Structures are given as structure tokens and as C-alpha cells.
Amino acid sequence: MRAVTTVFSILLILAILLDAFEVVVLPRRVTRRIRFARLFYRATWIPSAALARRIRSSHRRETYLGFFGPLSLILLLSVWAVGLIIGFAALHWSLKSSLKGVEAPFSFGTYVYLSGTTFFTLGYGDVTPGATIGRALAVVEAGVGFAFLALIIGYLPVIYQAFSRREASISLLDARAGSPPSATELLRRHGQNTVELDRLLHDWERWAADLLESHLSYPVLCYYRSQHNNQSWLTALTAVLDASALVMVGMEGTPKRQAQLTFAMARHAVVDLAQIFNTPPREPSPDRLPSSELNRLRAILLAADVRLADGLDAEQRLAELRRMYEPFVWALADFLFIQLPLWVPAAKSFDNWQTSRWGRISGLSEARSSRSEPEKEELEHF
């Protein structure tokens, strides 16, 4: 029995250390299916998402889900620490390490206490190992505990720096593509300025590359919700993919090269993140862009003097591009409980910057009434 416990304890300690190394230190995707962190997030996210589906209020649901990412990270680190403490305690118990400061026989709880004070390098000294092998184990555990705490101290700032970079670009998209962002609004607001549109798509190509690198290295970031309930990294990425697809199909006076590069990078990020969560692509349901919505999209853009390519060939090309990414974003959205953006924004929708807790447009209506006609048109266009 003690021999089995020894082997089990060593395997437990090595498995936790390997898992922590892969999650925190290793800067690449781990393809191994059986991993402690993967099992942990499956076991905690699935019931959490199931409970979220029962919350009818979208505001309360997003608030509830907003706690999952940070809390799950703290819980994962705690589970690692407890696992290492129990692993070393079981190893002491199986090797019959003699102890000073307590009378024999030594209980397993006493070994857990010794392991905990050693792991966190508390140094109380009331219970200490008496034999050579026990002292050696205590030195190893103290080193592991010190390295583990140092790793956490360095890990958390990296996580929140990556989250901050992601959210800054999502916030900037608010005035550029609406809230939530949509391809129609993005093109309507930039269709007359092809240089600015090209620069925006270039910036989002780099954002997608940064998202791919950071979220593959730290998948827990995918669970972190944005500051506003109508924003998310997946919503923004999908809206940019939609807009890039429209430009690639054909938008008068707009170069397609940057749209192709942005589409490729964003699609790469979507597919790789779907593999991380093992969410196979599924047929979009319901269709985000039926024929009636496509006609309305064209009419809105035409009113802003933005002309899209028309005809059967253009529609087929758009459908082909959509098939390249929509099945993946649908699968991710269903798994992460994120609502995908509309191609055409809802009528009378407001950007987040236009709202406050005291009013929908907070003084903007009064300001409009005193403006000249050119100023009113400019405000409406913005």
C-alpha cells in the first residue's frame, strides 16, 4: 500500500508541475488531449454555462459570467497548490518520515501540516522532519513552493497586460463600428475614406495576430468578458471578418489587399482557438445574413454612397468566404456563451460612448437642436 502511495505521490507531483509549466511558461499550444487544466476548465465551465442559460436577464448573466475567468484562474492556482501539498504529504507518509515536535504514531494530517508550512516556506519549526530522507523532501518542497509562488507573481501581470491590450482595441472599435460592432456600420463610417479603412484593417490584422499569440498561450483569457455587455473579443473579431469579406467581394474604390491580409489573420485566429476548446465547426443557425438582410445592407451602404459589388457571382463569393469562418465562430460563440454580431445593426442603436447611466444620449439630443444643418449631418454620419 505504501509503495503504491509513493508512486502515486510522485506521479501527482510531476503531473501538476508539468501542467503548470505548460499553462504558465510554455509559449505555444499544447495538443495533448488529457491535461489537468483542460479537465479543470471543462468541469467548471460546463456547469457554469448551464447555469448562465437559466438567467433571463442579459445584464445579470454577463455579470455572472464576468466572474468566471478571474475566479477560475485563482481556483486553478489553488488546486495546483493543494495538489502539491497533498502529494508531498503522501510521499512523507509512504516513506515513514520521522518527525520532531510531535509524538508517534504520526497521522496523515500531521504530514499535511508539515507539507503546507514547508510549501509556503512559513518556517514555524514546531514540526520538522527528523530523518535524512524527510529533510531532503522538505528542501525539495520548499524549492518547489518558492518557485511556484514566484511563477504566480510573474504570471498574473502577463495575463492582465494581454487582457488590457485586447480590450483597448475593442473599446476603440466602439466609435468605428457601433455597439455591438457590425460590418455595415464599419463600412458605412469609413467607406468614403479608403485610407482610414485600410489603416483600420491593418491595425486589426495586428490585433488578430496578438490575440492568436496571447490566447493560445493563455486560453483562460477567452473566458474573460469585456467591460460592456454588448462587446467581446469574439464579437469584434467576427465583425472585422464580416467587413473584410465584404471588401474582398468588391467595394467600389477600396483596395482589397489589406482586407485579404486581415481576413487571413483573423480566420487563422478563429480556427486555432476553436481547436483549443475542441469545438468542431457547425452549420450556422439561424443564418446571420439572409437575402433580405443582404439587400438591406446594400441599401444602407448605398445611402452612404458606398457601393458593393452586385450580382450572383458576388453573392456566391461572399457565401464562400462566410463558410470559411462562420462555422467556427458559431461553435465558439455557443461554447463561450457569446452573442455574435448582426451584419446590419438594429434600428436606432446607440454607441456606448453616446450613453450614460443618466440618459440614452446624455445631452446629445439637446445639442442637435441648436446645430446648423451641416453640423447635424456630420453628427448623424459619425
The total number of structural domains in the chain stands at 3
Q: What pLDDT does 370 receive?
A: 41
Looking at the structure, tell me whether residues 293 and 354 fall in a common domain. Answer: no
Looking at the structure, tell me whether residues 338 and 381 fall in a common domain. Answer: no
Q: What pLDDT does 361 receive?
A: 63
Does residue 133 lie in a domain region? yes
Does residue 161 lie in a domain region? no
Looking at the structure, tell me whether residues 70 and 190 fall in a common domain. Answer: no
- Residue positions counted in the chain: 382
Q: What pLDDT does 138 receive?
A: 93
134 membership: H or E segment, kind and range: helix 132-172
The rounded distance, in Å, linking the Cα atoms of 318 and 305 is 21
The rounded distance, in Å, linking the Cα atoms of 338 and 270 is 14
Q: What pLDDT does 221 receive?
A: 94
3-state secondary structure of 181: coil
Query: What would the DSSP string read from start to end of 278-342?
Result: T------SS-SS-HHHHHHHHHHHHHTT--B--SHHHHHHHHHHHHHHHHHHHHHHHHHT-PPPP
Per-residue pLDDT of the chain (382 residues; tens, 9 = 90+): 788 989 999 999 999 999 999 888 887 777 777 888 989 999 999 999 999 999 988 889 999 999 999 999 999 999 999 999 999 999 999 998 889 888 888 889 999 999 999 999 888 888 999 889 999 999 999 999 999 999 888 888 999 999 999 999 999 999 999 989 999 999 999 877 888 999 999 999 999 999 999 999 999 999 999 988 889 999 999 999 999 999 999 887 777 899 999 999 999 999 999 999 999 999 888 899 999 999 999 999 999 888 888 888 889 999 999 999 999 999 999 999 999 999 998 877 788 888 877 766 645 444 444 444 444 444 444 4
Does residue 362 lie in a domain region? yes
Looking at the structure, tell me whether residues 288 and 307 fall in a common domain. Answer: yes
100 membership: H or E segment, kind and range: strand 99-100
Looking at the structure, tell me whether residues 114 and 79 fall in a common domain. Answer: yes
The rounded distance, in Å, linking the Cα atoms of 48 and 365 is 41
Looking at the structure, tell me whether residues 259 and 144 fall in a common domain. Answer: no
Q: What pLDDT does 26 receive?
A: 82
The rounded distance, in Å, linking the Cα atoms of 51 and 53 is 5
Does residue 167 lie in a domain region? no
Looking at the structure, tell me whether residues 343 and 355 fall in a common domain. Answer: no
Q: What pLDDT does 372 receive?
A: 47
What does the H/E/C string look like for 24-69? Answer: HHCCCCCCCCCCHHHHHHHHHHHHHHHHHCCCCCHHHHHHHHHCHH
Looking at the structure, tell me whether residues 292 and 178 fall in a common domain. Answer: yes
Please identify which residue in the block is written with the cell numbers 519549526.
Answer: 125
Does residue 146 lie in a domain region? yes
Q: Which of 17, 38, 40, 42 is nearest to 29 (CA)?
A: 38
Q: What pLDDT does 369 receive?
A: 42
Looking at the structure, tell me whether residues 55 and 134 fall in a common domain. Answer: yes
Looking at the structure, tell me whether residues 232 and 343 fall in a common domain. Answer: yes
Does residue 71 lie in a domain region? yes
Q: Hey, what's the cell of 282? A: 457547425
The 8-class DSSP code of residue 94 comes to H
Q: What pLDDT does 360 receive?
A: 64
Looking at the structure, tell me whether residues 68 and 123 fall in a common domain. Answer: yes
Does residue 306 lie in a domain region? yes
- Taking CA atoms, 336 is separated from 42, 44, 99, 132, 263, in Å, by 11, 13, 49, 51, 22
Q: Hey, what's the cell of 217? A: 498561450
Range of the domain at 370: 350-382
Cis peptide before 157 (omega within 30 of 0): no
Looking at the structure, tell me whether residues 218 and 249 fall in a common domain. Answer: yes
Does residue 255 lie in a domain region? yes
The rounded distance, in Å, linking the Cα atoms of 102 and 112 is 13
Write the CATH number for 126: 1.10.287.70
| Rg (alpha carbons) of the chain, rounded to whole number | 27
